[in-house]
């Protein structure tokens, strides 16, 4: 049951994010969420708060970031989203792994085109 609930929470969050509803996208996010962006770009690294994630999202919005989920997979604690992203007019595939505890997102880790992040945001 938790897996199905987490999947629905994730779907609502992605829909809110895509609609520009930051509050709705963060509704079920833990205040101390761990957010991991891979690579060596200026935005890569590990964030440890909802506030820092909001600042990251603002940087992404400046570069016209969008995400279009294609496939959803889940188990009891994790939701995996295979998505197509657009950043500064370039397209890439990405896999996001969202981990939930008690209906709250506690960890987000993406795997995608790190070279694209470096082209758009520069190297760290």
CATH of domain 2-115: 3.10.450.50
What are the tens digits of pLDDT across the range 25-71?
A: 999 999 999 999 999 999 999 999 999 999 999 999 999 999 999 99
Domains of the chain, residue spans: 2-115
**Model pLDDT, residue 124:** 81
Task: Find out whether 41 and 116 touch, Cβ atoms under 8 Å.
Answer: no
> Any residues with CB less than 8 A from the CB of 124 and at least 6 apart, and which?
40, 41, 42, 44, 45
Please, which pLDDT band fits residue 1 given cuts at 50, 70 and 90?
low
Rounded to 5 degrees, φ, ψ at 95 are -115, 125
d(CA 100, CA 10): 10
**SS3 category, 88:** coil
d(CA 61, CA 37): 15
Report which of 117, 73, 113 is spatially closest to residue 97, judged by C-alpha positions: 73
The pTM assigned to this predicted structure is: 0.95
């Amino acid at each position: 049951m938790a897996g199905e609930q987490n999947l629905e929470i994730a779907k609502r969050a992605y829909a809110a994010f895509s609609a520009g509803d930051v509050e709705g996208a963060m509704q079920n996010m833990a205040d101390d969420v761990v957010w991991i962006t891979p690579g060596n770009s200026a935005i890569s690294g590990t964030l440890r708060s909802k506030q820092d994630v909001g600042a990251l999202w603002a940087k992404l919005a400046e570069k016209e970031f969008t995400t279009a989920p294609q496939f959803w997979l889940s188990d009891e604690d994790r939701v995996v989203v295979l998505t197509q992203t657009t950043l500064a007019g370039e397209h890439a595939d990405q896999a996001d792994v969202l981990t939930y505890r008690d209906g709250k997102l506690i960890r987000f880790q993406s795997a995608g085109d790190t070279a694209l992040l470096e082209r758009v945001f520069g190297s760290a």
